[in-house]
Amino acid sequence: MKKSFWGSFLFGVGIIGMLDGIVFHQILQWHSMYMPIDRHHQIASDGYFHLAVTIIIFISGILLWNSDPRENDHHTRKFWGGFLLGAGIFNFLEGIIDHHILQVHHVRPGENQLMYDLIFDASGLLMILIGWYLYRSRKKEMNN
């Protein structure tokens, strides 16, 4: 695959990770990246998470900047397809691994935590489906 796809894919990963951290960790304060520790270390774990997604956004910018302009025909669908695939895969995998398998945190711990986790997983699947549709429809358009 090409730099523009991977750039938009990683941009989706970085942006959805940043939104997760801003909304769930900071604004709502529902959880931190790693909950079974004291508050000081929870904040530090969130900081490492934000640093990682910032690096991913930076790398995505480099890939998009260096992508071949000729590969950007029908670029809007390709960009948003890659973006939503990256964001959706991040949400889905983060949900399955962190919420269900490792249980290092839940979207909203406590009452109805499984419902919140499943809605989070479903949001990832929805983004994957929309992203896949946009990416595939772009390819079909190019072949016609």
Structural tokens at position 119: 């809605």
Q: What number of residues does the chain have? A: 144
- For residue 131, the SS3 value is helix
Tell me how far apart the alpha carbons of residues 15 and 54 are, in angstroms, rounded to a whole number: 9
pLDDT attached to residue 71: 65
Residue-by-residue pLDDT tens, the chain, 144 positions:
688 899 999 999 999 999 999 999 999 999 999 988 899 999 999 999 999 999 999 999 999 999 877 766 557 888 999 999 999 999 999 999 999 999 999 999 999 999 999 999 999 999 999 999 999 886 665 555
pLDDT at 100: 97
Buried b (16+ CB within 10 A) or exposed e, 14-28: bbbbbebbeebbeee
**Residue 44, pLDDT score:** 94
